[in-house]
Every structure is written in structure tokens, then in C-alpha cells.
Amino acid sequence: MMRNFYPELLKGTPHAAEADDLAARTFEFSELLVKKLGAILVSSASSGGRALSILPHVHVVVADADQVVPDLGSALALAKARHGDQMPSMLSFITGPSRTGDIERILVLGAHGPKELYLVLVG
């Protein structure tokens, strides 16, 4: 999992191309998977910050089959039970790649987040 990766620190070095390549994608772990919504719950605690799930062009989430819960209420209750009084500053339900149709009603992928989303389900 990438945490707190700052590709700009490698600009102007022999590793600049690697930094640009790594910045184009990110890998993170999910908090939970919500069956009814087909959503992935990530948090600032599981992903290492807010930016990892929205800045890269390709987003890969790794989850365990045991993380599947039936609905949104169950997901929020389990997150509350897991974190108690130390809830993460960000909870995000991801249902697919970023998309918008705001501009002239033309569908655009990746306008406000990753253009591609992959879920690796283990177990």
C-alpha cells in the first residue's frame, strides 16, 4: 500500500519518470464492501489520507471477502464499532470510476477522481 507518497520530491532526479508512473495509480485497503450498493468504503485510516483515492488516474483497492456487509446501515455501524471515538476524518463510499455529465451533457470519465477503478477481492 502506498502511504504519503510525494512524487514532487523526485522531480529533477533520475527517478522522476518512476515518480510520474507511481503517481498515476494508487493501491489501498478497504474498510468494508457494501453489497446492496456495490460500494467500497475507504477511510483516511485505511487509505493513508484523503488524496490517495481521488488524485491518481488508476485506483486499485484490495479487500478481503470477510469485509462484505449487507447494506449502508451495517457499514456505518461496523465502522463506528471499529473506530469508536476515533472515527477517521474521512469516510468515502466508492461505486465506480469518477464520472460527470455536467459539461454539455457529455459523459466524462476521470474528471473528479480516478478514471479506472479495480477491486482485488482476496479470500
Q: Which helix (H) or strand (E) holds 62?
A: strand 58-64
Q: Locate the DSSP E strands across 3-57.
A: 25-29, 32-34, 39-43
What percentage of the chain exceeds 70 in pLDDT? 71
Domains and CATH numbers, the chain: 14-122 (3.40.50.10420)
Q: How does pLDDT run across 9-59, given as a tens digit for each residue?
A: 445 555 455 555 555 667 778 899 999 999 999 888 876 666 666 667 788
